[in-house]
Structure formats: structure tokens, C-alpha cells
Structure 1
């Protein structure tokens, strides 16, 4: 059975796990199977006006030397911005949060969807109310909006803490299929599991054909996911549209809790004590590759908005080759770098200018097909 484990649901099931678990602390295998997520920790900030704290997270501050994504320059350089929709497949969202309420996307003409998303989770009371009871999805969405303020977010809830790993996987597949058929620009998936799945892979291949970017978390199991025995999916699928992300701290070190892989992980992003929105108009700090993934989704959304002619493969390549190289990432990240939003926008603008908006002269690398995992068909 595939475990679709969430990467950071640190506020879940307080009665079962005490808050304050240290970074890198692992659940036992039985606990992981029962709870279907990987717990790290959360520190909550109360009575903070998140509407005025977009740059309060160190990950988006101007001091690029301390591990941030170098955001302010990127926002200034964007000349035009088309609407970009990011589907956040997660625990839902708080649609009333003052930091997010104006960024909610509702597909036009779809009578089946509520005013803030869809709930595909096992046993959902109402498919039209994907309200976030776990905080994770709202937190991830807040990071994406912090990076690119004009983003539109489609919340697709798949996670039910009482469901089995197989049920959460089935819910994931339903959410992925909806997002791909709808034709969103980007899918943020801050979850995963240790076994590949044929149906999931086929949907992601369809996303690849449609040019949809998928940003996937590398996972928090402290493993090298280059190895077939410790691979993590969907991050380990070798598709040209999947950007796999690990997490680092302010000292430019990969988190002890994060997965890595010099052949699989494309880039790193901030993931330690990241400040973002949580339900009921508050904000809090969470740690892990879930948060790092959201930063990269925000940068990808920025590139797609400013340069809509870019393909998913091109955006992946731009983010990778402009990443700021760090010696500490050697042997752990394919690009050996952390995402640099300003450098990515500058390269996109340069390519766009030289090729008159067509990017015709941009040479893309061949699709990686080596070491493609054997697909296990779900029973």
C-alpha cells in the first residue's frame, strides 16, 4: 500500500503527538502507517497581522546571503502578468483568511465547485467545502501568495487523517485528474509516498503533455531518493515537468530531516521555521520540504505570469540553471543550488527579448529517462 504521507502536518493530532518534536525526529513505521503523515514541529505566532507581514519570513527577505530566494528584485522586473492558477493539492484552505481570500480561484462554468475549491478526501461530508482543519494547506498557499502576490489558488483537498494510505492516494489521483483536465498552470504537491503508482504516473504524463508544471516535495524521511529502495513519489518520477524540491536553512545547509538526491532533487528552497498563514486569520511557523516546495511554486508562477510563452520544461530549466550554487549542496542537489527568483526572471527576460517572445533559440535538455522506476500497479 502506498503511503501518501504529508510532509509537515505538525499541528495534527495533538492528543497523539506532543508539539515541539525536534527537527529530524522520525515516527516509527507503525505510527507513520497509522497517521499517514510525517510530523515535525510548529511554532505558532499569535495576534500577528499577516496582511502586513509578507516579507516577515526569512525566505523572502532581501538578504540573499542568508538563504532567501532573492525575491524583491524579481517582482520589480516583471513587466506583464497574465493570470496564473496554481492548484494546491493538500489539506484544503481557509478561504476567509485575510491574506488569501482575494487569491481564491473558482473555475468559470463549473457548477460542481464551491467558491473556494473541492474536497476529494475520503469520507468528505461535502465535496464543495474543502476547509482546512489541519493548517498545512493554508500555510503552503500563503507561501505561494507571499512569493507571487497576484497568483490564483485552486484548493483541492485530498487528505483525511483518518483514511488509509491507499485512500489518500486514491483521493490524490482524483485531485490530480481534476487539475490536469481543467488545465491549471501549476500543481503544488507537498506530499508523497515510497512507492510509485501507475495511475498517478499516467496522469502526470498527461500533465507533461499539456505543459503543466508539477512542483513536488522531496520528502522528510532523511533519505537519498536517488536510491530505488528509498525513492519518493511523485518527486522521483523522471518527467520533464516535475520540479523536485528539498529544503535548507539560513546557513545554507540541507535540513537534517529532508530527503536529498543529486540525480533526483532539482533545487533547494527555504524550509526552516517559515512564517505563513494558518486558519482563522493567524500565521505560524512550519518546517520542511512542504514549505520549500511552495516557494518554488511561487517562483514558477511568477515566470509563467511574466513570460507565458515559456513551457513547463523551460521553466524547470531556468529555475535549475539560475539556482545559486552552494558547496554544502554538492552531492545532494542536481543543480547544487538554491532558487534565485531574481536571476530566474532576468534569464527569462533575456531569452524573451532575444527571441522576440518565442524563445525559439532556447535549447532544452533532453528528457531524463534513465533510472525510471518500475511502476507498481495498485491493487
Structure 2
């Protein structure tokens, strides 16, 4: 079943409406026309750098709105970005248009709803084939349509600890036997109620929970999707426990912006910026961010955040979606953001066919990766205690997780590679597959056997 997690709400003005100046207004118009879901009564409002406090207040007064959170401080020509709440019963679209026509507002947009792109098949597994990790000539088991990760392992590439990836999702079960050694630990923080590293997040030992505004990145089974994605990317391999992820030694940073299938745009912007800022402040090799979810409409606020990640040399890998639709004609965000650092991923079956549920797009989806009947880590509760469990799952969420792992694997063997070089390596090494011709940009499937 599809799991919904609302995440990533975005500000939107419309081209063709008098006074509106949103550069991507036509994309927002399309999103509204398609009845994309958004959080009722909320907008994200980006002010111009010239908008002083009095100007911001007067603008919000036009719609009776109040700021409930400042998402970003002013920076040059870009003023403050706020999440605002409208009076009960207000029209989000009308308020958006009125604010967008104000001279102190750069754009205003709805808080779009995004959903995690997973489809449950079997709840747990005890013993089974990790076909997605195999390749045409991998040791022990083979599958021509697998990712080829096992062939890279056989050559000694199991990923370096210095390589980091961010996981924007639900939380990650830190105590899971297959994950605990590969979750990032902040070297500059201790749990004492003091923000030692000056990041603005007190005691962010293993990342941050933007939903509950604390440092607890795993709460309960409502964080299963993040745990599942993490298992595919970086479950510990070669330790005689459970499964092996693509990258046995990668460092995963949780940025929890969803819980129990729900989040919002403001949370997504903050989570993306948190990870981007960590790369700068910690001087770490953060090569990719997992965005294994989607939905809603075009968001300038989140597009800007992805752009900031791109400027920091970080790829953003997004799930193409689980609606069996063409993203060429019905954009699915964040996979459909036309930004150089985005990779959009469809789901492939173990028989080499495009999964029946997978979205596709000859110009907007880059490639396909294993996404059906994928075995991964999962939190389970027994007698009131969370235990390390496993599940067999399907969805473009899990296909995109393979590509995040591929980015980390390539960076491990090509440590000076830039984000564009890593993206090019992933796309250029993809294997042409007849079922994908005209369905994805490369007409090909993921193959990391040579990484």
C-alpha cells in the first residue's frame, strides 16, 4: 500500500495572474490545476531582502496571516522565508495570489503534501534472495537485472566510512543490528543541553528530528520508512547478520522531516539546509541526499533548497512515484525538479520489466533500479520492545535508495569526483534495457558493477 507522508510544502504564485512574479508560476498553476494536495490554511512566504519587519507585517495583514515559523534568515537579495498560518476558512489560493502581488513578497505558495513511495508486499522475511544486489556475474547468486553491487563488493569496494549520505525521511532505528554502526555521530556534540558546534541544534548527536524539534531521530514504528530506506543504502554487510546494504561502511545522517507518513514543506526545507550546512561546517564528504518520497506541487522554496545543496556539490536522489503515470505529462515532485543535481528513479522488477506501479518519463525520469520485492531493515515491536526486523517491500522509494548507495559507492572509489561527475558515472554506466526504451531518459537500468 502507498504510505503517505506529507512533506515539502511550497510557495507558489501564478503566471498569467495580475501582479504575480513567481518565475515558475506555470508549474505551480499546473500543480493547482491537477488538484495537488496541500496543508490547509498554510503558505510559505519568501520576502524580498528589502522587506523590513513593518513591511512584512503589513503584507501578512492583507490576508490576516501570522508567521508561525521563520524557515530562513535574510541573505542578500533574498529576505526571510516564513511559514504562515491563515485565519480559519481562508482560501489558500486567494491569499497566495494577494500576497504574491505585494511588492515586498518574492513568492507565496501552498504547503504541498508529499508521500513516501513504498508499496508493502510481505511484512517480514526470514530468509530470501537479495536479487537487487546481484549482477550478471556476481558470486554465489546472479540476476542480470540486479544493481551489480555484489560484483563491486567482490572487487573490494564496500564503501568508505568517510563517505556520507543524508536521509530526509522518517527517522532511522539507531539500535537496529544492521544499521547501528553506520549512523552518523556528531564529533562536536555531547548530550548536555549545550549547542557546542553552534549549529542551532542542541545535542544533535545523530542528526535531527524536525517534526518534534528534538535530537531523537527514532521514535517508534512511525519511523519505519526511513529505517527501510537506510537498510538498502547502508545496512552493514559481511557481519553474518540480516542483510547487506549497497554500501557496507557508509555514514548515514538522519534528517527526520516525516513521521507516520506526514510532513510538510517547511520541514523539508529545514532538513535539506541542515544537511547542506553540515557539509560546510563539518567539512565532510556528503555526496548525496535521499528523497524517497513525493507528491504535491511545484515548490520554489524547496527547489531553492535543492539548489543550495547542488551548490555544495550534493546530489538529491528522488523516487519517481508509484502512480503508474508519466512524469513528462504530470510532474511528480521532487523527482520532476529540472535541476542539475537531481536524479529521478523508476522501479525495476527482478525480471527486467518496469514495475507496474512505477511512474516513468522519457525526458524526466533518468533511469530505473531494483524496486520490487526488496528485502530491507524494519523496526518490529515485541513485548513492548523494539527489535531488529526485516521486511520485503516494493516501491520507487527503494529504487531511489539503490541509486543513493550507488553514488556513495562511486565516491568511495573516486574520492575527488564532483556531484556532476558522480551523476554522469551513474547514468553513463546504466545498462540499456528494452522494457525501459521510451520510458526513462537513458532507456537503461542501474549497474554499479564497475564502481
Deviations 1:20-56 (A, max 9, x none): xxxxxxxxx999989963663231225x38xxx8xx4
For residue 240 of structure 1, give the secondary structure of its aligned residue in structure 2: coil
Structure 2: stretches of 5+ with no match in the other structure: 6-34, 41-112, 137-141, 190-194, 196-201, 235-244, 280-285, 380-386
Give the deviation of 1:209 after TM superposition: 1.3
Give the deviation of 1:215 after TM superposition: 0.9
Counterpart of 2:168 in structure 1 is 89
Asked which structure has the greater CA Rg, the reply is 2
2:182 touches 2:250 (CA, 8 Å); kept in 1?
yes
1:188 touches 1:293 (CA, 8 Å); kept in 2?
yes
Give the deviation of 1:264 after TM superposition: 1.2
Counterpart of 1:337 in structure 2 is 444
1:82 touches 1:306 (CA, 8 Å); kept in 2?
no
Structure 1: stretches of 5+ with no match in the other structure: 1-6, 12-28, 346-379
Mapped pair 1:130 → 2:215: no
1:212 corresponds to which of 300, 303, 314: 314
Deviations 1:280-336 (A, max 9, x none): 201001100000011111111011122111111111111111111101101111111
Q: How high is the TM-score relative to the length of structure 1?
A: 0.75
1:221 corresponds to which of 318, 323, 332: 323
Give the deviation of 1:199 after TM superposition: 1.2
Counterpart of 2:271 in structure 1 is 175
Give the deviation of 1:130 after TM superposition: 3.5
Deviations 1:68-117 (A, max 9, x none): 11122212435784611111111101100000000010232244244432
Mapped pair 1:104 → 2:183: yes
1:320 corresponds to which of 427, 432, 436: 427
Mapped pair 1:246 → 2:336: no
Rounded Cα–Cα distance in structure 2 between residues aligned with 1:30 and 1:200: 16
Counterpart of 1:264 in structure 2 is 364
Counterpart of 1:61 in structure 2 is 134
2:207 corresponds to which of 108, 117, 121: 117
- Could you say which structure has the higher strand fraction? 2
Decide whether aligned partners of structure 1 residues 139 and 170 sit closer, same or farther in structure 2, where only a CA change above 3 A counts. same
Rounded Cα–Cα distance in structure 2 between residues aligned with 1:153 and 1:82: 10
Mapped pair 1:231 → 2:331: yes
- Could you say which structure has the higher helix fraction? 1
Mapped pair 1:190 → 2:292: yes
Decide whether aligned partners of structure 1 residues 132 and 42 sit closer, same or farther in structure 2, where only a CA change above 3 A counts. farther
For residue 313 of structure 1, give the secondary structure of its aligned residue in structure 2: helix
1:150 corresponds to which of 220, 226, 249: 249
Rounded Cα–Cα distance in structure 2 between residues aligned with 1:269 and 1:329: 11
Rounded Cα–Cα distance in structure 1 between residues aligned with 2:357 and 2:324: 5
For residue 264 of structure 2, give the secondary structure of its aligned residue in structure 1: helix
1:8 touches 1:286 (CA, 8 Å); kept in 2?
no
Deviations 1:123-165 (A, max 9, x none): x1734343352311101000001101011111111113485xx
1:19-30 aligned at under 5 Å gives the runs none
- Between stretches 263-272 and 232-241, larger displacement belongs to 232-241
Rounded Cα–Cα distance in structure 1 between residues aligned with 2:352 and 2:38: 29
Higher relative contact order (CA 8 A, sep 6+): 1
Rounded Cα–Cα distance in structure 2 between residues aligned with 1:325 and 1:162: 34
For residue 45 of structure 1, give the secondary structure of its aligned residue in structure 2: coil
Decide whether aligned partners of structure 1 residues 30 and 326 sit closer, same or farther in structure 2, where only a CA change above 3 A counts. closer
2:171 touches 2:259 (CA, 8 Å); kept in 1?
no
Decide whether aligned partners of structure 1 residues 162 and 335 sit closer, same or farther in structure 2, where only a CA change above 3 A counts. closer
1:344-363 aligned at under 5 Å gives the runs 345=451
2:36 touches 2:297 (CA, 8 Å); kept in 1?
no
Decide whether aligned partners of structure 1 residues 30 and 236 sit closer, same or farther in structure 2, where only a CA change above 3 A counts. closer
